[in-house]
Every structure is written in C-alpha cells, then in structure tokens.
Amino acid sequence: MSLDLNPVSVADYRALARKRLPTQLFDYLDGGSYAERTLADNVEAFARLKLRQRVLRDVGKVDTTTEIFGNRWTIPAALAPVGFAGMFAHRGEVQAAKAAEKFGVPYTLSTVGICSLEEVAAATTKPFWFQLYVIKDRGYAAALMKRAHEAGCTALVFTVDLAVLGARYRDIRNGMNAPMPLGKRLRVAADYARRLHWLRHVAIGGKPLDFGNLREAVPHAKGFGEFGAWVAQNLDPAMTWKDLEWVRANWPGKIIIKGVMDAEDARMAMQTLAPDGIVVSNHGGRQLDSTPATIDALPAIREEVGDATTVFLDGGIRSGLDIVKAVALGADACLLGRAWAFALAARGEAGVSAMLSTMRGEMNVAMALTGFTKVSEIDKSAIA
C-alpha cells in the first residue's frame, strides 16, 4: 500500500507500473532480446562500480546543472526515445515532454510514439528532440525530418543499431508480434480487462491509439500490427556510413548518432559525419544480446573521440548515482529510457517529474560525498 501512495526509486515505479499495465505492455517495456543478459548487465555493471567517498571538501554549494549544445540542463540527463509510450499512460509522450520541459531537460520523441510531432509541439513551449530510424522509404524519412524541424525540434537522434530487429522473446510469448490461438487471445484480453487503471486512463476515450507520426505512411492501418509491419519492412539493413551524408543533407539541426558500441565505429562516425553527438547504446539490451554493458563500452569510445563531439550514454541508468558514474567515465550526459517510462506508467507526468527530482537529489548527495561541486569537475577519481 505504501508503494502505491509514495513511490520513490525507479524500482518503486517499475513495481507500480507492473501492477497497472497489462502484462503484454509491461513486458514490452521491461524486456530485452533473447536471454536478456545484456539487459541485466547494463544495470549490474553500474552496481559493480563503486564511488570513492571523500570528506571535508567544502561541498556547501553543489551544482548539478550542465551545459549541452549551448543550453543549461538541470541535470546531465535527457529523456531518451521510448516507443509506444502513449500506451503506458494517457497521451504519454505529451505528459513526459511536459515533465521534462518543467524540470529543465530535453525530451526525445520516438518515431513510433503514439503522439505525433505536432501534438507534442502543441503541448510544449520549448524545443524537443526527435528520434528517427534507418528507413528504406527515404521520401517518408525526409518528410518526417521536415515535420520535426517545423515542429521546432532542434536535434535529430538517428538510431543506427536497428538494421534488423532483435528477437524479444517476452513479446513473442505474449503475442505482441505473432498470431495467437483463440485461447491465448482470450487470456490476453482478460489480462487487459482486469487492469482497471489502464482502462480508465489510457484505453477509454480520447484520441486514437496509433503511431501518430506514421499515419500518413499507413493511412488505412486498422491496428498496431499493420503499423508494426510497415516499420519492420522499412528498416534498411543495406544502409552504410556513406548514407549518413543524406541525413545531413536533409536535417538542418544537431545530429546525434545513437547505437555506437565500438571505438572503431565511433571513429567512422567522426570521419564520415562528424556528428554533434554520439550515444553509447545497445538499445537497452533489446537488440543484440551478449554485448558489453554500455558503461563498460564508454571509456574506449570517449578516448577515441576525445572532445570532438558530445558523448551520451544510455542503458541501465536507474539513479542519480549512476549518472555521476557515467560522467566520471567519460559521458557528457545520459539518456534515461525505462526510468522515465516506468514513472510515466505509474504516475503520469507527476511521476516523471518526481523521478527526475529524485535523481537530482541523488546526484547532489553523490557529488557532495565524492568531493565534487560541479558536473564539469567530475572525473575518473570519483570511482574507487
């Protein structure tokens, strides 16, 4: 009962999200590919890192803010793109974007968000970011970029680790991407029916639950299956580094390449495109299993690119302490994914706002007790 009244940590929000979401949706959010080893290791690798506690350092004024792309962020973390977020809470992308704006960090809208670019733009007053997959239909990809620019998006988060879809066995078991026999369909329907909070706040009334950015691409789609089929058919496994020039030609703002896990690929990105940012990411453990945890891959990539670009990290971040560890090992900032999605499913916009405030408080303590008063001061000496 106390958890329902006052969730605090990301783990609390996850537990509450599990209670409120239909199993099919919770497992889509919570799960990873194959045996989910990378999914688990993303979190465990942070837990294995120990902070070096220091004392008597005059930490009376700790500042958790940082400057990225000329803007001041409340903490060095943005909200990562999470597809389907509008299925976790009523117009979920809008709620998350509003929470991020009020707190003072960027929000990134997924290509496969429920809410469209235009809907998010209408609900916010500051620029947000847009995430785009490698799409075969270059005409539609260009149109999406044009729409994003017109909606005021200042950065394009171009996801490059989805040339093919990793197999997420929870989704297969739950019938997310495959036909189910009648008995299984009835059990899934019954599970949805008993999630009264979800039915009241997400399923009933309001705007249609579809992929808002893809309505023009699949105008006659009758359900998520047809939208999902279009996305799967339009992923482009033939795209190479040279094709990134096409992205640069069609996007006038900042470009962030998401999905880099290898120092050699980071070098190729810099030689080919010189992006404004790189995200060290294994897609939250949802693509290729048995890859390194992102925090373990980070130092080599930071060393490779030096200060030539902004380095972000996502995957496994569950607290402000994790953010401090990531910055200590070379990240300029982090992208939060499941952390905000769990909070959204549990408490909507208020949950996302509270989760971000908790992370700021955790950062404040971690910085004070490792002897740092500014984010720019945090370095490897913070790690024991």
Instruction: Provide the phi-psi class of 73: left if phi over 0, else alpha when psi is between -120 and 50, else beta.
Output: beta
| Contact between 196 and 127 (Cβ < 8 Å) | no
DSSP string, 271-292: HHT--SEEEE--GGGTSSTTPP
| Contact between 114 and 94 (Cβ < 8 Å) | no
> Does 149 qualify as catalytic in the annotation?
no
Give the length of the chain. Answer: 384
* DSSP conformational letter for 81: P
C-alpha to C-alpha distance for 233 and 359, rounded to whole angstroms = 38
Catalytic entry in 149, 197, 201, 283: 283
Q: Which residue, 280, 264, 261, 266, is CA-closest to 327?
A: 280
| Contact between 340 and 355 (Cβ < 8 Å) | yes
DSSP H helices in the chain: 2-5, 10-20, 23-30, 37-48, 92-103, 117-123, 138-150, 169-174, 182-193, 196-198, 224-234, 244-250, 263-272, 294-305, 320-328, 338-368
Give the orientation angle of helix 10-20 with respect to helix 338-368, to 10 degrees: 160
Instruction: Provide the phi-psi class of 285: left if phi over 0, else alpha when psi is between -120 and 50, else beta.
Output: left
Q: Per the structure block, which two tokens stand in for 98? A: 């509003």
Angle at 64 between CA 59 and CA 66, to 5 degrees: 130
| Contact between 192 and 204 (Cβ < 8 Å) | no
**Catalytic residue numbers, as ranges:** 283
